[in-house]
Structure 1
């Protein structure tokens, strides 16, 4: 299952790079494109979180539960914090405010992207190896 999560991570990274590129190379005329990219990113992120939660549950119930538990607790706290940051970011950065403060929005986007990139790297180092070690369940 971590293969799917890794594919999600790569797709999220690509979306983040494309978003940052549009922000750096365009101006307010890109706002409709930015809005579409925000929605697409949000949809993929939510789908990914559902898949990740299912994998975490399998780890909690599996033979590596004792090893996984502290990592899953840490991960849960970090993901909740990141989700709250993302939620606040979306609420704060309305299209009107983005138009008024393009450079401020870019700075906020890059900071949030950095947080997510760090979290995905942590997951790949710490959780994905445990997920890969889980025996496959029969379908």
Structure 2
């Protein structure tokens, strides 16, 4: 259980680190940020994808398989917010192409900061209460 929490925490820290790199670029002009932007955006996307895969494999799939989703208060809400945030992030990537970012750098910064703030709140909720509750329930269900 601790190993899973530690892995999820490490991955959330990786996401936060990649986002911090992105936010450093926001303090620059587009011309200064552009050479680094693609690589940083890719790091953010990969860190998020890795974390969501771990979350799904370690927590959500076992919950679904054991039909335990409804037994955890707030579980459906967290799952729905995660799904909504995934969709918002996918839309963000589609909308903010390299050309759109170049044309509307300040708008991109605002939109990205809003999305990242929403993600940070969800990550805190998950780490503080959701992950521990899920792992306790899965551990109890497995006879541990």
Q: Per the alignment, in what secondary structure is the counterpart of residue 74 of structure 2?
A: helix
**Does the 8 A contact of 1:93 with 1:105 survive in 2?**
yes
Distance 2:113 2:69 in 1: 35
Aligned length: 136
Partner residue of 1:119? 122
Q: Per the alignment, in what secondary structure is the counterpart of residue 139 of structure 2?
A: coil
RCO higher in structure (CA 8 A, sep ≥6)? 1
Q: Which runs of 5+ in 1 are unaligned?
A: none
Q: Which runs of 5+ in 2 are unaligned?
A: none
Distance 2:83 2:113 in 1: 19
**Does the 8 A contact of 2:70 with 2:76 survive in 1?**
no
Change (3 A) 1:2 1:131: farther
Partner residue of 1:135? 139
Change (3 A) 1:61 1:3: farther
Partner residue of 1:58? 62
Deviation sequence 1:9-52 (CA, Å, 0-9, x none)? 11111111111111213432322311111112111211111110
Q: Per the alignment, in what secondary structure is the counterpart of residue 127 of structure 1?
A: helix
Distance 1:6 1:84 in 2: 23
Among 96, 100, 104, the alignment partner of 2:103 is 100
Q: Which runs of 4+ in 1 moved over 6 A?
A: none
Distance 2:70 2:101 in 1: 46
Partner residue of 2:24? 21
